[in-house]
């Protein structure tokens, strides 16, 4: 049994699935990534990609709620700001192609720390680490299998970009906040103040 209501989980799946092709488009358009073959697609993304991100969003949100200690002070603004930060970081990573690896890692790691320190907590960091490890490993496996590939100047970590774990960490922190917002809205009346 889930801690979050089924409709909230579905909403989180849809949120991740709708937003993720925008970020993926940036990577494809800049040549940071390329899909080797895809039959069913949404824009530049294979159908599985938004499903993967959507399901991951809901799973991380549910995980955060299960970890306990949902903060009463968490707000919808934190979630909206977090989603915007992830999308801005996604755009920035598309612009990093051809730049020194240290620049990309420093920029994305620094932004990840800022996002976590502003809206995250210890349990959110756990979700961030889970996302960083599983997301990066999944992409490394898929890249090795020939499903897609990173550009040769962006594949220095097991065939994926060295900044990728930090982007996934931020995604995990934000998904955790989405879980907290979803849970707090389930437990308390929604106020118009956000």
Q: pTM of the predicted model, to two decimals?
A: 0.93
Q: How would residue 192 be classed by pLDDT, with cut points 50, 70 and 90?
A: very low
**Among 49, 53, 82, 50, which Cα is nearest to 180's?**
82
Mean of pLDDT values over 154-167: 98
DSSP codes, 60-86: HHHHHHHT----TT--HHHHHHHHHHH
Condensed to tens digits (0 to 9), the pLDDT of residues 44-92 reads: 999 999 999 999 999 999 999 999 999 999 999 999 999 999 999 999 9
State the pLDDT at residue 190.
Answer: 35
Condensed to tens digits (0 to 9), the pLDDT of residues 35-54 reads: 988 779 988 999 999 999 99
Which tokens sit at 135?
């997301």
Listed by start position, the domains of the chain span 6-187
Condensed to tens digits (0 to 9), the pLDDT of residues 88-143 reads: 999 999 999 999 999 999 999 999 999 999 999 999 999 999 999 999 999 999 99
Mean of pLDDT values over 14-31: 96
> Can you give the C-alpha Rg of the chain in angstroms?
16
Q: How would residue 187 be classed by pLDDT, with cut points 50, 70 and 90?
A: low
């Amino acid at each position: 049994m889930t801690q979050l209501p089924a409709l909230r989980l579905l909403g989180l799946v849809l949120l991740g699935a709708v937003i993720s092709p925008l970020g993926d488009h940036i990577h494809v358009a800049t040549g940071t990534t390329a899909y080797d073959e895809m039959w069913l697609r949404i824009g530049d993304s294979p159908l599985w990609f938004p499903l993967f991100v959507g399901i991951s969003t809901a799973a991380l949100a549910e995980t955060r709620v299960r970890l306990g200690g949902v903060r009463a002070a968490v707000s919808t603004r934190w979630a909206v700001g977090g989603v915007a930060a992830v999308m801005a970081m996604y755009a920035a990573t598309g612009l990093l192609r051809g730049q020194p690896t240290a620049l990309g890692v420093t920029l994305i790691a620094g932004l990840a720390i800022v996002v976590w320190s502003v809206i995250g907590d210890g349990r959110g960091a756990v979700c961030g680490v889970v996302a960083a490890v599983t997301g990066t490993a999944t992409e490394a496996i898929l890249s090795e299998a020939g499903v897609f590939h990173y550009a040769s100047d962006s594949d220095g970590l097991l065939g994926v970009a060295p900044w990728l774990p930090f982007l996934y960490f931020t995604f995990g922190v934000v998904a955790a906040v989405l879980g907290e917002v979803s849970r707090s809205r389930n437990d308390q009346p929604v106020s118009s103040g956000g």
